[in-house]
Structure 1
Amino acid sequence: MPATLIPGFQAADATGEDGVPIRVATGGSGPPVLLLHGHPQTHATWREVAPLLAERHTVVAADLRGYGDSGKPAGGPGHARYAKRTMARDQVRVMRELGHERFAVVGHDRGGRVAHRMALDHPGAVDRLAVLDIAPTAAMYDRTDREFATRYFWWFFLIQPAPLPEAMIAGATEPFLRAHLRAQSGTAGVPREDLVQEYLRCYRDPAMVHAVCEDYRAAAGIDLEHDRADTAAGRLLERPLLALWGAHGTVGRLYDTAATWREVANGPVQGEALPCGHLLQEERPEEVADRLAAFLAG
């Protein structure tokens, strides 16, 4: 049986879009909630939050395609295999396979972008949506300035044509990953070293590094096309949305985060900053679980 670092959870493989295997860890009972991680994490990032939510919910923590122990297909024309639309279809298929036709979704970082697209494309499946430490992708690109580009340089490094970023990361995988995690965290000792080692295990796979680059290339291309089409059609989020962000992170410092989500939402939007950096679920797990539990019960 596959392993997971989340206490009390069981890991297995489910089937995403086009047969891509998606690693999931499940636990608890009650109304279903899907947890989606960001870059460079895996589902293990929810290690402390997931068991708390599992006291009242059936919790599914999944590895996004390309990440962790999920399948890592080549990006394909236009990087479409890593479009957030495709990655969202993965997770909807997985939840249906697990018997959940309708569920809440919580996404951090890249997972929040997948969750945003999922709520737009699959409103019948998504009951409510929580996003951790992101503003909408299109808004962040549209409002890019020197400070943002300096703080989030990987948004512009990883999108360079293959194989340049892949080759550069391969030459310094551990220093790159550790520097990235240090930049994300606003709390000493976070991530814990055992989590760093888990992320490093996965990041040493060249297929994952390519997938990460394809994820970001899609975000700077086909994902923006999908976002522009939504704007032109007047499509907005209709489900209740909770936005949490780190007061000391880039998103919290550079954006009025709740206001940017209200720009793309027709449903109710709640927003709150927590005293941490980008890795809310690892820096402030109890507070995150508390806020999520109250929102999910709403």
Structure 2
Amino acid sequence: MIVDRPPSPLFPGFRVVDASTPETTIRAAIGGSGPPLLLLHGYPQTHAIWHAVAGRLQERFTLVCADLRGYGCSGKPPSTVDHAPYSKRAMAGDMVALMALLGFERFHVAGHDRGGRVGHRLAADHPDRVERLAVLDIAPTREMYRDTNDAFARAYWHWFFLIQPAPFPERMIGADPDAYWLKKCGSGRAGLAPFDERALAEYLRCFRDPAAIHASCEDYRAAASIDIAHDDADGASRLPMPLLALWGEHGAVHACFDVLALWRERTADVRGRALPGGHYLAEELPDEVAAELAAFFGEGARP
């Protein structure tokens, strides 16, 4: 079932819906025309990260900008001891169901941060659904944990804080969620400058929900446990579809990892480069990101 919701000023002309999937409800903004492209956000944000990129791509693609489960206005199902409800496998399943409800059996995927990790698992579990995959400012989860060094641990301290057993991080964040969000997202080279005031207000509004704080912690707990088990179960298999990796040359991923080399461990056809920004590329450099995505997904357009 799909229920229409009030339109968003960040996505003029887009339809905003809540879609009932087998396990939860997913909020999405849908607009544009052309081949379907699913856009997934990262932590601790919502689909609003794509507002500037969407305006630059909507004439070439049908865009589906979705909130991951646990984030934004999507559902926040209860978790379990093994964190399976917040595994990237579960999150990917939501997106397959969402796209099917919208009539899209095959589609492109682009994901930033956590959304890129969901995109990776979606492509691994459902290779028949994903034509091409783009990931923004990440390397594969398992390999990043494996190759963590002092510099990365200091820059990505939240990876190790959020996986602590509940309810410790939830209580710490919940004491002042705005201060936490602004510290987490505003400590980079660009500070808070990349964020549109309307998007920032939406991020903070959504993150104040204690259920969203808990769900986002569960997302990271899953990443450090069951997600790695799923990666290990893939064995030597690699993604069959082309993958584009973009990352910020002023971010920790660029400083600490050989991004293309790590993605080549997980997929056969990889290309990509650093862009002159930090972590929040879709909001810092929307022109560059839109151009890269249009060129990459345009290569894979069906005649």
Aligned position for 1:283:
284
Say which SS state the counterpart of residue 115 (structure 1) adopts: helix
Structure 1 contact 11–26 (Cα < 8 Å) conserved:
yes
Say which SS state the counterpart of residue 187 (structure 2) adopts: helix
Q: Percent identity?
A: 56
Distance 1:144 1:212 in 2: 21
Say which SS state the counterpart of residue 282 (structure 2) adopts: helix
Give, as a single letter, the amino acid of the residue that structure 2 aligns with 1:123: P
Give, as a single letter, the amino acid of the residue that structure 2 aligns with 1:273: A
Distance 1:163 1:97 in 2: 35
Aligned position for 2:71:
67
Aligned position for 1:149:
153
Once the two structures are TM-superposed, the CA of residue 3 in structure 1 deviates from its matched residue by: 3.6
Say which SS state the counterpart of residue 77 (structure 1) adopts: coil
Aligned position for 1:219:
223
The aligned runs of 1:63-142 (5 Å cut-off) are 63-142=67-146
**Among candidates 14, 27, 45, match of residue 19 of structure 2:** 14
1:87-114 CA-to-partner distances (Å, cap 9, x unmatched) read 0000000000000000000000000000
Structure 2 contact 189–250 (Cα < 8 Å) conserved:
no
Moved more, 40-49 or 4-13: 4-13
**Among candidates 232, 244, 247, match of residue 246 of structure 2:** 244
Distance 1:185 1:45 in 2: 18
Aligned position for 1:265:
267
Aligned position for 2:297:
296
TM-score when normalising by structure 1: 0.96
Distance 1:24 1:194 in 2: 17
Match status 1:255 vs 2:257: yes
Structure 1 contact 185–283 (Cα < 8 Å) conserved:
no
Instruction: Go from structure 1 to structure 2 and tell me whether the alpha carbon gap of 1:247 and 1:187 turns closer, same or farther (over 3 Å shift).
Output: farther
TM-score when normalising by structure 2: 0.95
Which ranges in structure 2 are unaligned for 5 or more consecutive residues? Answer: none
Distance 2:188 2:240 in 1: 30
Count of aligned residue pairs for this structure pair: 294
Say which SS state the counterpart of residue 294 (structure 2) adopts: helix
Say which SS state the counterpart of residue 234 (structure 2) adopts: helix
Match status 1:158 vs 2:162: yes
Once the two structures are TM-superposed, the CA of residue 252 in structure 1 deviates from its matched residue by: 1.1
Say which SS state the counterpart of residue 273 (structure 2) adopts: strand
Say which SS state the counterpart of residue 201 (structure 2) adopts: helix
Distance 2:96 2:105 in 1: 8
Instruction: Go from structure 1 to structure 2 and tell me whether the alpha carbon gap of 1:32 and 1:253 turns closer, same or farther (over 3 Å shift).
Output: same
Distance 2:18 2:149 in 1: 41
Structure 1 contact 186–278 (Cα < 8 Å) conserved:
no
Give, as a single letter, the amino acid of the residue that structure 1 aligns with 2:97: R
The aligned runs of 1:198-217 (5 Å cut-off) are 198-217=202-221
1:44-66 CA-to-partner distances (Å, cap 9, x unmatched) read 00000012111111100000000
Instruction: Go from structure 1 to structure 2 and tell me whether the alpha carbon gap of 1:55 and 1:230 turns closer, same or farther (over 3 Å shift).
Output: same
Give, as a single letter, the amino acid of the residue that structure 2 aligns with 1:189: A
Distance 2:106 2:132 in 1: 10
Give, as a single letter, the amino acid of the residue that structure 2 aligns with 1:278: H
Give, as a single letter, the amino acid of the residue that structure 1 aligns with 2:18: D
Once the two structures are TM-superposed, the CA of residue 183 in structure 1 deviates from its matched residue by: 2.6
Give, as a single letter, the amino acid of the residue that structure 1 aligns with 2:132: R
Distance 1:166 1:183 in 2: 21
Distance 1:150 1:191 in 2: 24
User: Where in structure 1 do 4 or more consecutive aligned residues deviate above 3 Å?
Assistant: 184-188
Match status 1:24 vs 2:25: no
Once the two structures are TM-superposed, the CA of residue 278 in structure 1 deviates from its matched residue by: 0.2
Say which SS state the counterpart of residue 228 (structure 1) adopts: helix
Distance 1:62 1:184 in 2: 25
